[in-house]
A and B are shown apart, each in its own frame.
Chain A
Amino acid sequence: MQSPAEIVQHSGGVIGVSWLMIALPLLGAAILLLGGRRTNKWGHFLGVAMSLGAFVVAVLSFVELTGLDPDQRRRAFELFEFIPGMVNMGMLIDPLSISFALLITGVGSLIHIYSIGYMSHDRDRRRFFAYLNLFVAAMLLLVLSDNYVGLFIGWEGVGLASYLLIGFWQHKPSAATAAQKAFIVNRVGDFGLLIGIFTIWTTFGSLAFADLTQQVTGQASEGTLTAIGLLLLLGACGKSAQLPLQSWLLDAMEGPTPVSALIHAATMVTAGVYLVVRSGAFFEQAPTAQLVVTIVGVATLLAGAIIGCAKDDIKKGLAGSTMSQIGYMMLGAGLGPAGYAFAIGHLITHGFFKANMFLGAGSVMHAMNDEVDMRRYGALFPVMKVTAVTFIIGYLAIIGFPMLSGYYTKEGIIETAMEHNAILGWLAVLGAGLTGFYMSRMIFMTFFGKKRWADDAHPHESPAVMTWPLVILSIGSIGLGAFLILGNRFMNFLSPAVGLPQELPETHVFGFGPAALATLALVAAGAALAWFRYGAAEVPAVAPRGSFLTTFARRDLYGDALNEALLMRPGQWLTRIAVFFDNRGVDGLVNGLAAGIGGTSGRLRRVQNGYVRSYALSILFGAAAVVGALLYVGNM
């Protein structure tokens, strides 16, 4: 077992200006928001340029970092004093943060480019790019900060960007409501994260990652560490849509599709995984907290998959899938150093194939007059081949088709989980089978079978500015997994930041282990079932009623109903009672007293003109009386 390397304070080279990654998109957002309509013409280009600029800085920083000795690859430096005596703002560039930075700026830039086409008809395209830039800046702040306060600022910053973008079409009440829901549910998680940060501060007297090494955290009691872990996990559950704070993500699909791809699939929703991995110094010494992380992960990976099985809305299907895949990452993150590389590796490959599929879904919607119901799709393969082929590559990657990206990263998580706890491992295998079913269902319903199009639908392939990002993302969906996982390349790369397990896992181009084979068999079974029900058979254009289980899944496992019954309704009653009490109770009492002393309130009003005078008089008399009394007492 190898501990993470120490963080070195150093501000030279490209890494010394890595804050530009945050500053460039932030500047872009500021120019686009403050510049107003004047920037309408070129605003989207500026947005893309700023995101690409950040990508270039990320790549250069990455190159510089890999040129250093492994034990020198954690560089932090201070930017300015934030709260004197408590925390300074600073950057931390290490293998973990730079991996995220590359994903955020790389996939982020592709999505920016795609959005030029996707949003070309929207009169508020400039504002859209401003928010996207704002998001990129906040997300980079989240992962590049060298302390928990900076992380938290980025954490809520991405929450704000998410709120603004889910509600981008704010004139639609459903979009405005979904945006509000996302923010409020996330705040529940943020509450946990805040208390976690407070506990870290009062226990260790520092919030900087550089100070919070395993040796330092080891001095606290396990109870404290468990508490910190669970509080941080609550934060992670909010941001990453894990049970029990998952309900906002499906509604978040109200946002424009590029937003769903960037924020609600590839990057922001994975911030919870980042938090857990970054806080390894706490979790690794708190087995109970780790166990809870894995349980949450497995529960969510199953719940998300079940929801995905029943959705006819292509975006909601993908959203369920996102929940589920993040569940896998969470499971990996709860397994300690053995799981981190797979969790983060899956996070990165998922960033590619899920963004690939979301953008593909956007391309389909673009072609089908914004129709999202897969029951009105079908037979789209011939009319939009690029979209279809790239989508199918993403699909093969997510179900874990051998040799493609998702195969290696997901299999890594399953194998590690299996060694750790067989129950968790087999449940993760089951989840993979469900993935095989719901994703195949999506493919068959969308691209194959018979046309079930609306009368006015004239599907066509999207413009090149939209298809090229799809092609690039699908290349990542094919090869990235093998590149990262084979030979433990990514595990070794990450090790200065997160440490290494006692034994490095063996990696295979094709695994013949029981879990690997079982997974493949279940996936194949799921795909076959989907073929019989949605490929070979006729798909009704209107959803049949379905069994109890189908309804259960369609209603998002009654998550909203539960929230409504347990929180919303009681909350509304509490509010009403409090308002009533405040008006009648507290205030009524006071008014009653006033009326009793000064006669009726009507009389009060009539004499109000004389009030200032009588007020002055009363002060005078009061003062005289008091002075007199005191002098009398003093003389006794």
Chain B
Amino acid sequence: MPWLSILIAVPVLGAVGVALLPKGSDKLAKQLALVVSLVVLGLTVAMAVQFSPNGNRFQFEEKYSWIPSFGVHYGVAVDGIALVLIALSAILVPIVILASWHDAEGRPDATGLAPKRSAKTYFALLLVLEAMMIGVFAATDIFLFYVFFEAMLIPMYFMIGSYGGVQRSYAAVKFLLYSLFGGLLMLVAVIALYVVAEKNTFMFPELIGAIQDPTTQKWLFAGFFIAFAIKAPLWPFHTWLPDAAAQAPAGAAVLLVGVLDKVGTYGMLRFCLELFPEASKFFTPLVIVLSVVGIIYGAIVAIGQTDMKRLIAYTSISHFGFIALGVFAMTQNAQSGATLYMVNHGFSTGALFLVAGFLIYRRGSAQIADYGGVQSVAPLLAGAFLIAGLSGLSLPGLAPFVSEFMVLIGTYERYAVPAIIGATGVILAAIYILWMYKRTMNGPTAEPVKGFTDLNGREKWVVAPLIALIVAFGFFPKPLLDVINPAVDKTLTNAQVTDKQPVSTVAEKKGAGQ
């Protein structure tokens, strides 16, 4: 069964169906979009249970010739890393659709204007985006990957530009300009890779080890890496993200930060490391410095934000620093941790953005100063915000802790000082999360907050699955790690790195015992 093609096709067909609905059938459009996304989720689960973690690296392979003269294929397959990221996308989309139920309608905002927006189009765009997200992680042909990588921008551009906040145009254009710049660099690198490798193919598995010349590797690495660093975004390529995330509707922000940005870190792990192992080692010190700076810088700037969504965006910049650090630390623990981090961060930041979105919907403002004492009037809302926040500061017992712990301990195995500096992020995270929580939720109830209603039924259905996942994977990350670990192992083999061994004999003793 061509699982991956079906996963890409179903949301596309769904989007067409939603778009073709007659005018005025917004409610039906939403329901249809929700059903389609749930079908995709069901199919993803059905596929995931058939994945055998210790089987072939790439499973559910499909390969058809697309542009024969250039050796371009429609090639899709997943390894454990791609699989968990596809699962993340498939889980987040229905949740986002449910959370965005009223987002597209355009409430009269502070300016008193209720923009006329088409809900139908919004949900069709969401489904198109889902197809692209699944495609980009599934692509094994680098040209196909590039096509998805770029095409993803279009639905997101419209979601920000047409459905966003007051400064949406500026944010959308900035988002596009940055991505355009990165995309062009990557295109150059993709084509150069094709030409230099002289294999007449873009298929990733066949290109591993194709480039041996160190200088060529460095140039190609740079092309891919900058594109991914903008996407992720890594410091100092990050400034488009706070604007885009703050102006995007909450649901779009979740997909932007939770999934789209992961394409950057995923790309580093998959393409930069495996295609250009020598260059990766050469650039590792630089990337580690950028990552650590990003962790601290993102966190400090987050502390100083006055807008909730911008604050969450900056925390993500800090978190992407952790992910990149894990990828380039080149140890099993760090890379498995980084991959797990991509998934957990999607849940955690997703929950944070969505609950913030509920708050903003009630108050009509994202300014922290416009809130206060919400906990007294809407305890469930406050509780959800707290749990989401605590997952953002990687509280042990919640999923992001496991990944942050693994990234840091794995980095420490090889690069102690960056790991120690990065670990100060745990202190800064406590400051930015708890201070935001205190200012919005605690203290005497502010006058405009007094009329707040607590979470309604739909909102509970949005929050509950995310919190359940965050708690469940916090205590039992094994199902994810069992899938991720073998894939990371292969990545490390292709990147030509071996793990460092501890000095003592405990590990050997245990190894002998098993």
Q: Which residues of A contact B (CB under 8 A)?
A: 33, 80-86, 149, 152-153, 155-157, 160, 163, 167, 170-173, 176-177, 180, 183-184, 187-188, 190-191, 194-195, 197-199, 201-206, 211-212, 216, 219-220, 574-576, 578-579, 582, 586-587, 590-591, 594, 601, 604-605, 608, 611-612, 615, 618-619, 622-623, 626-627, 630-631, 634
Can you report 30 residue pairs joining A to B where beta carbons are below 8 Å apart?
A80-B478, A82-B478, A83-B406, A84-B478, A84-B485, A170-B375, A170-B376, A170-B441, A170-B443, A171-B445, A173-B442, A176-B443, A183-B434, A187-B426, A187-B430, A190-B426, A191-B426, A195-B412, A195-B420, A198-B408, A201-B502, A203-B502, A204-B506, A219-B505, A586-B239, A590-B178, A605-B169, A605-B170, A623-B191, A627-B191
Chain A interface helix/strand/loop/mixed:
helix
Complex interface: chain B residues within 8 A of A172 (CB): 443
With a CB–CB cut-off of 8 A, which chain A residues contact B150? Answer: 619
Q: Do A171 and B442 contact each other (CB < 8 Å), given the known contacts A153-B396, A183-B434?
A: yes
Whole-angstrom distance between the alpha carbons of A184 and B434 in the complex?
A: 9
| Complex interface: stretch among B36-44, B275-283, B300-308 | B300-308
Chain B: which residue is nearest A218 at the CB level? B504
- Asked if B395 is at the interface (CB within 8 A of a chain A CB), the reply is yes
Interface assignment of B188: CB less than 8 Å from any CB of chain A: yes
Closest to B172 in A: A608
- Do B239 and A205 touch across chains, with their CB atoms under 8 A apart? no
Contact B397 A601 (CB under 8 A): no
- Known contacts: A171-B376, A184-B430, A211-B510. The answer to whether A220 contacts B180 by CB under 8 A is no
Q: Does B51 contact A (CB under 8 A)?
A: no
Q: What residues of A have a CB within 8 angstroms of the CB of B412 in the complex?
A: 195, 198-199, 201-202
Chain B interface (Cβ within 8 Å of chain A)?
150, 154, 157, 161, 169-170, 172-174, 176-178, 180, 183-184, 187-188, 191-192, 195, 236, 238-239, 297, 300-301, 303-305, 332-333, 373, 375-376, 383, 390, 395-397, 401-402, 405-406, 408-409, 412-413, 416, 419-420, 423-424, 426-427, 430-431, 434-435, 438, 441-445, 475-478, 481-482, 485, 500-507, 509-510
- Distance (Å) between the CB of B496 and the closest chain A CB? 21
Taking a contact as CB atoms closer than 8 A, the residue among B154, B430, B485 that contacts A183 in the complex is: B430
Q: Report the nearest B residue to A88, measured CB to CB.
A: B478
Determine the chain B residues whose CB is within 8 A of the CB of A575 once the complex forms.
300-301, 303-304
Residue of B with least CB distance to A155: B396
CA distance A188 to B502 in the complex (A): 27
* A165 CB to nearest chain B CB (Å): 14
Are A630 and B191 in contact, with the CB atoms below 8 A?
Answer: yes
Chain A residue numbers with a CB within 8 Å of B172 are: 608
A73 CB to nearest chain B CB (Å): 23
Evaluate whether A177 and B170 lie within 8 angstroms (CB atoms) in the complex, with A156-B397, A626-B187 already known: no
Number of A-B contacts (CB under 8 A): 196
B443 touches A618 (CB 8 A): no
Given contacts A194-B408, A204-B502, contact A180 B427 (CB under 8 A): no
B244 to chain A minimum Cβ distance, whole angstroms, is: 12
With contacts A202-B416, A605-B169 known, what are 18 further pairs, Cβ within 8 A?
A: A84-B485, A86-B406, A173-B442, A176-B442, A183-B430, A184-B430, A191-B427, A195-B420, A195-B423, A202-B412, A203-B503, A205-B502, A205-B510, A594-B174, A604-B173, A611-B176, A619-B183, A630-B195
B442 touches A167 (CB 8 A): yes
Contact of A194 among B376, B423, B505 (CB under 8 A): B423
Given the complex of chains A and B, what is the CA–CA distance between A447 and B127 in angstroms? 72
The smallest beta-carbon distance between B7 and chain A, in angstroms, is: 26
Cα A582 to Cα B482 with chains together (Å): 40
> When the two chains form their complex, are residues B506 and A206 in contact, meaning their CB atoms are under 8 A apart?
yes
Q: B443 and A626: CB pair below 8 A?
A: no
Cβ–Cβ contact A203 & B504, under 8 A: yes
The answer to whether A578 and B304 touch (CB under 8 A), given A85-B485, A216-B506, A634-B195, is yes
Q: A194-B408, A605-B173 are in contact. Are A206 and B507 (CB under 8 A)?
A: yes
Closest chain A residue to B390, Cβ basis: A160
- A612 → chain B closest CB, angstroms: 6
- CB-nearest residue of chain A relative to B188? A626
Residue of A nearest to B432 (CB): A575
CB-CB under 8 A from B301, the residues of chain A are 575, 578-579, 582
